[in-house]
Structure 1
Amino acid sequence: MVLVSLLDRIDIPETNVANYVLDNCERIGGPDHTVFLDSATGYALTAAELRSYVRRLAAGLRQHFGIKRGDVVAIFASNSVNFPIVVYGVVASGATCTTVNPTYTPRELEHQLTDSQATMIVVGGGLLDTALEAFSHMDDSAKPKHILHMDEARTGKEDSIFSAMADETAGPVDDGLQPSDYSTTPAYICYSSGTTGLPKGVLLSHRNMVANAMQIQRVKELDLERSQGSRHEIFLGLAPFCHAYGLSYVLHSSVALGGTIVIMSRYSFDGFLKAIETHRITFAYLVPPLVCALSKDPRVDDYNVSSMHTVLSGGATLSPTLIEATQKRLPHVRVIQGYGMTEMSPAITMLATSHNEPASIGILMANCEAKVVDHDNNEVAAPGEPGELCFRGPNIMVGYLNNRRATEDIFDSDGFLHTGDIGYVDSKGFFFITDRKKEIIKFKGFQISPSELESILAEHPDIADAAVMPVYDDSQATEVPRGFFVMKDSGNNDQERAKAVVEWLHERVAGFKRLRGGFVIIDHIPRSPAGKIIRKSLREIQHVNLGKATVAA
């Protein structure tokens, strides 16, 4: 049975996503309202100033560097007030933007530049050495032809983005696209970390991104209709702008709603709390480890965070217990969840603040359809019956770059994208995630959900972060689960505390779910910018720690 969104259909305009965002930002907030604010320096950018800078940069890219439709411009930088100027400027020029994780190594950067065939790279402060080393491994024909610097210290230099914005009289730039082009022409190439192999380039069209911005806005409008939201929100710009999560939720949807984005260029937990207190943040986009910290860390009590009414968590599901603990500690805050993938621009389901389904990942976005299928790809009919979640809608990617096979593998013949995530839909239309298809541990015929164990472990006060992976037990000829723990206040009798955690866990799960593979204490759990555990990297850590696991079962 194909499920249709409960929300009214929306009319999606055929337009450049940068123009859509800027037009709505100025229409709703007004030309003088502050769009971006640097939390550290207090530097602010109004809607009118933003539009002027974007037009000037788009014109400069076309006139001085020959950037045009079909060209790819890479942005290799951390969050800053200048980041959205460059993103919007590139997209407004008609070119395609590929955003690069600023923590990438030279080899990882080399792969993305080569795969995307970037013509230009815009480099943020402190990252030039990484870029130059990446270039040293590339063929001359594959290297970007131009390097521009985002660092304000290079103001006045020819290779600065500010020099490219020299024409203060620049008007709107013709992006070279016809209305029919916006559904197929990529505005962005975002790279999906996946669990195996090299990251794949995800082609997200202008229409994909406009649709997703409008879909997110439609869910937020439910709160305005029920008087549980603010017409003018102050959002925390902590989610990485290099990731589809930061792009769509923050730089597109929140800006187009006329909100103010307070940007943190460097993260610390105290800095995060201070930003909420100082700038009166009302709505924060976070990932599960930060939600966990809000529920446990004693430093929260040292700051006034009473302005914040909503936390939206994405990247991985939160347990109802953790949500309850966070809301009990911060009774003025509602913790809600959203779900998606880079391939979905990225949001496909989302809760409104006014929804009272804490364990749910939300309702289906407007204009979207879903189905749940069993192991044989037969559609599941009954509400509550689990299976693989599949989606179809205007926000679903065009395809993978240079990878026709992967594109064909993820879509079925009816155009539904198969997520690999296991879940169900209840009778009221709320979606729930139970696990990921490829991450299920099979123990003697039983199926064990790593995410279930991870959610429970996250509730323990001695655990800062945790992951669960399968290891093969030759003596039993089966997979068994192994825990990877990051201990809170590390160094203080870690082994004994970790053993106590395992015993505590075993009291809360069925016998077949026990950590028969033992546990390993590590410094950090590798996660993507969206907060998802990078299983491939964790397997490498597991290989290094082979034979070092402590068995407490």
Structure 2
Amino acid sequence: MPVASPRPRIDVPAISVYDQIFGTLGPEDSDRTAVTDSATGAVVTYGELRGQVDLFAGALSSRGIGVGDVVALHCPNTHAFVVAFHGIMRAGATVTTVGSLNTAEDVAKQITLSGASLLFTVSLLGPNGADGAREAGLSDDHIIDLTDGESGLAAMLQEGHEAPEVSFDPATHVAVLPFSSGTTGIPKGVKLSHTNLMANILQTLPQLQENGQHRDSVVMAVLPFFHIYGMNTVLNTTLANRAHLVTMPSFDLKNFLELHQAHGIDFAFVAPPIAVVLAKHPLVDEYNLDKLNTLLSGAAALDHALAAAVQDRLGVTVVQGYGMTETSPVTHTGIRGTTPLESIGLPVANTECKVVDLTDDALGEILPPGNEGEKSASGEMWIRGPQVMLGYLNNEEATANALVGDGWLRTGDVVEYDHEGNVYVVDRAKELIKYKGYQVAPAELEALLMTHEDIADAAVVGFIRDEDGEELPRAFVVAQHRDGNPVEVDKEALMEWVAERVAPYKKIRMVEVIAEIPKSGTGKILRKDLRGVPVGADS
């Protein structure tokens, strides 16, 4: 049987994201600080932010942008992103957010696929945004640098245009069009409606509150707003909670720690790579993080040992959540003090999940939960709820493969669940290594490697051996530094160390020592970049 959420059901009103976040803003909240932009020093209140969003929407409307238009936004986590993002939706248009590190070719491809007629970018990100837009056929007057004094954000707000009256169906109108990361395939445009985003804000808000985020919280916002986790969980849901966001355009450990100390940040959203640094880097000990209360980790699975190491070092509570672009994003969250550290917890309100057998001849068979103290067999997690996407843009085949009927979405993630319904992520189905018929989860081996004193970071991928076509677990590791220098990693000793701690078929068969594990902006390991690395290519 599917596992239904134990949370009380919520009503999702038929209104826009703007109406939920800013339309409910009362006089008592207008003077509360909404955003502190660490890059520019700008500090805006909720009342000021609403006014700026309205003016930006008016400026767009005066340029003919409205319902039916798509606008691309190429901007890091700044005050400018917040205003432009919400201003575009307030004008009735659709936002397609572009990754900060995208190449010009990537930008051109996304603008072309999304049908965007206008691009907002910033000089901080270099020329790739503008170059890509031109390559996609946009003229210079449809490429706007938000930081430009004559035509950018400030100039648009000074035009003084009132926000337009717009009309659309929140359940079917596409509010945002983020593109999937492409780490496991070709990027696809994900159509998310206002109702999708609205539902997930209302589903996630009580979970954040249960985990310690409150109206007087100061919240770290370093996870990129262009990605759905940063966009709807970090940005939108925190604004809906009327808390104070401190934005960072990119992660830098020293700046990250300084901002926590200076602003008394008590709630931080992180991804596992940040958790790794917080657990292991010596610089952390030089800062006062006493105000920090909760770390909510998402975007990838976090191992129990690593979560515990962060908790013990910082004296905080670590909680995991789960989501994906196709679910706006949150489907599960843990609750501090009750959910096992390594679990993503239970479904959020109005959400069901089931774990389905992965074998080809039994696809669709629901696996039962484990007995008390045990977990179920591994299977693919399927999700049903109001946060599930409308579908992929202009891709009926991919949509049909993901949305399999009766409201169910296939996540592609392999999970297990216990007798209480708590879910444990094993790995991506496409990333499992098949060794002699056995399934080996890279995430399990990566988590083990991270507990070794000589290893600062790790990734595991499959390597196809030419002579017999056998797939072998191959580890890439980053050496820990001591006294300013990397330690020497003994590869044979490391493989023996792993072998002593895992089943024989899970043993690592190859090790490469490299300077850095390639990752996306949200912390996902870019395994496709590692698979092509020649054997013996230590850096």
Alpha-carbon deviations, 1:464-485, whole Å to 9, x = none? 3211111122445421110112
Q: Of residues 505, 509, 514 in structure 1, which corresponds to 2:507?
A: 514
For residues 486-535 of structure 1, the C-alpha deviation after alignment (integer angstroms, 9 at most, x for no partner) is: 2233995665445543333232222221221x122223222222211222
1:358-385 per-position Cα deviation (integer Å, ceiling 9, x unaligned): 1111210111111111122211234432
Cα distance in 1, alignment partners of residues 250 and 428 from structure 2? 32
Residue 264 of structure 2 is aligned with which of 275, 280, 294?
A: 280
> Is residue 335 of structure 2 the alignment partner of residue 352 of structure 1?
yes
Quick check: 1:462–1:501 contact (8 Å CA) kept in 2?
Answer: no
Residue in structure 1 matched with residue 461 of structure 2 by the alignment? 469
Return the letter of the residue paired with 1:415. G
Tell me whether 1:189 sits opposite 2:181 in the alignment.
no
**Shift in CA distance, 161/42, structure 1 to aligned 2, threshold 3 Å:** closer
* Count of residue pairs the alignment pairs up: 528
Hey, what's the Cα distance between the residues in 2 that align with 1:47 and 1:423? Answer: 40
* Secondary structure class of the residue paired with 2:106: helix
Alpha-carbon separation, structure 2, partners of 1:129 and 1:293: 31
Counterparts of 1:101-500 in structure 2 under 5 Å?
A: 101-127=99-125, 129-138=127-136, 140=137, 146-151=142-147, 154-155=148-149, 157=150, 159-168=151-160, 170-177=161-168, 181-223=169-211, 230-331=214-315, 333-375=316-358, 376=362, 377-383=364-370, 384-385=375-376, 386-489=378-481, 492=485, 496-500=489-493
CA contact (8 A) 1:120 1:144 kept: no
* SS class of match (1:77): coil
SS in 1 for 2:155: helix
Secondary structure of the residue that 2:76 maps to in structure 1? coil
Provide the C-alpha distance between the structure 2 equivalents of 1:297 and 1:482, rounded to a whole number of angstroms: 25
- Structure 1 residues 137-156: Cα deviation after superposition (integer angstroms, max 9, x where no partner): 33x3x6686112111xx22x
For residues 536 and 528 of structure 1, the distance between their equivalents in structure 2, rounded to whole angstroms, comes to: 11
Aligned 8 A contact 1:314 1:531 in 2: no
What SS class does the counterpart of residue 346 from structure 2 fall into? strand
- C-alpha deviations, 1:170-204, integer Å up to 9, x for none? 55532221xxx111111100010234443111111
1:255/1:512 CA distance change after superposition, 3 Å: same
1:9 maps to a residue whose letter is: R
* Deviation readout 1:280-313 (Å, 9 max, x if unpaired): 0010000101111111111111100010110011
Report the 3-state secondary structure (helix = DSSP H, G, I; strand = E; otherwise coil) of the residue aligned with 1:190: coil
8 A contact 1:118–1:144 mirrored in 2: no
Deviates more, 1:445-454 or 1:213-222: 213-222
Whole-Å Cα distance in 2 between the matches of residues 28 and 404 of structure 1? 46
Go from structure 1 to structure 2 and tell me whether the alpha carbon gap of 1:28 and 1:317 turns closer, same or farther (over 3 Å shift): farther
8 A Cα contact 1:350 1:364, kept in partner: yes
Deviation larger for 322-331 or 15-24: 15-24
Q: How far did 1:323 drift?
A: 1.2
**Partner amino acid for 2:366?**
E
Whole-Å separation in 1 of the counterparts to 2:66 and 2:44: 27
Matches of 1:291 and 1:363, distance apart in 2: 22
SS at match of 1:73: strand
- Does the C-alpha gap of structure 1 residues 229 and 161 become closer, same or farther in structure 2, counting only changes over 3 Å? closer
Please say if residues 296 and 461 of structure 1, whose CA atoms lie closer than 8 Å, have aligned partners that are also in contact: no
Give the whole-Å Cα distance in 1 for the aligned partners of 2:295 and 2:183.
27
TM-score, normalised with respect to structure 1: 0.91
Counterpart residue number, 1:15:
15
- C-alpha separation between the residues in 1 aligned to 2:437 and 2:183? 24
Percent of residue pairs bearing the same amino acid type = 37
Once the two structures are overlaid, the 10-residue window that deviates more, 190-199 or 435-444, is 190-199
Cα distance in 2 for residues equivalent to 1:258 and 1:231: 5
Identify if the C-alpha distance between structure 1 residues 371 and 33 changes in structure 2 by more than 3 Å, giving closer, same or farther: same
Q: Residues 57 and 381 (structure 1 numbering): CA distance in 2 closer, same or farther, change over 3 Å? A: same
| Aligned pair partner of 2:497 in 486, 497, 504 | 504
CA RMSD of aligned residues (A): 2.1
User: 517, 522, 528: which is aligned to 1:530?
Assistant: 522
Q: Which residue of 1 aligns with 2:4?
A: 4
Residues 299-358 of structure 1, C-alpha deviations (whole Å, 9 max, x = no match): 111100010110011111111111111111122x00110111111111110112343421
Q: Is the 8 A contact 1:218 1:366 kept in 2?
A: no
| Deviation at residue 136 of structure 1 after TM alignment | 4.9
**Offset from partner CA, 1:227-253 (integer Å, 9 cap, x none):** x55442110011101110110112110
CA distance in 2, matches of 1:127, 1:358: 37
In the aligned structure 2, how far is the partner of 1:412 from the partner of 1:338? 24
Structure 1: 5+ residue stretches without partners: none
Q: Tell me whether 1:71 sits opposite 2:59 in the alignment.
A: no
The answer (yes or no) to whether the contact 1:74–1:121 under 8 Å persists in 2 is: yes
Aligned equivalents of 1:345 and 1:392: distance in 2? 12
In structure 2, the residue matched to 1:36 is 35
CA distance in 2, matches of 1:41, 1:251: 18
Greater mean deviation of Cα atoms: 490-499 or 476-485: 490-499
1:283 touches 1:308 (CA, 8 Å); kept in 2?
yes
Please give the secondary structure, in 2, of the residue aligned with 1:520: strand
Per the alignment, do residues 104 and 28 of structure 1 end up closer, same or farther by CA in structure 2, a change over 3 Å counting?
Answer: farther
In the alignment, the residues of structure 1 paired with residue 312 and residue 394 of structure 2 have an alpha-carbon distance, to the nearest angstrom, of 48
Q: Kindly indicate whether residue 82 of structure 2 is the aligned counterpart of residue 84 of structure 1.
A: yes
Q: Which amino acid aligns with 2:292?
A: M
Q: 1:415 to 1:144 in 2, by over 3 A?
A: farther
Q: Secondary structure at the match of 1:435?
A: strand
Q: Please report how far the alpha carbon of residue 31 of structure 1 lies from its aligned counterpart in structure 2 after TM superposition.
A: 0.4
Distance in structure 2 (CA, Å) of the matches to 1:499 and 1:299 = 31
Give the unaligned 5+ runs of structure 2: none
Q: CA deviation at 1:267?
A: 2.7
